[in-house]
Amino acid sequence: MYIGREKKPRWAGLKINKTNIKECNMNILKDLQDGFQFIIVDPRIHTVAVFCAPLSNVKKRVQITRNKRSKNTYVVDIGRPNYEQRQFLKLCKKARTKPRRFWYKFLKNAK
């Protein structure tokens, strides 16, 4: 039991528009589909990261990683860009160019 002044939860006061959620989900599904097209076609690619729109200010990315042991298993991660990807985005911002939509990482001993 909480004694004292009641605090508002963090989500209080936020307005969530259902159309924005649907558009975001559709964009993520499209990004996921585009990423799978690249990683399935080229066996040398280990990781594909698809930066979600808008490219001028990237906050989300869909990352698809191929399992090293079994080549037909993939891991999908939806979240914020990792360190390498953030460095890439910073370099693009410094050069005043929009980044590519896809970011690739190849296997070390690809044949």
Among 9-18, 63-72, 91-100, whose mean pLDDT is lowest?
A: 9-18
Of 14 and 30, the one with more pLDDT: 30
SS3 string of the chain? CCCCCCCCCCCCCCCCCHHHHHHHHHHHHHHHHHHHHHHHHCCCEEEEEEECCCCCCCCCEEEEEECCCCCCCEEEEEECCCHHHHHHHHHHHHCCCCCCCEEEEECCCCC
Render pLDDT for 19-55 as a digit per residue (tens, 0 to 9): 555 566 677 788 888 888 988 898 888 999 998 877 7
75: β partners: 65
Domain locations in the chain?
A: 18-106
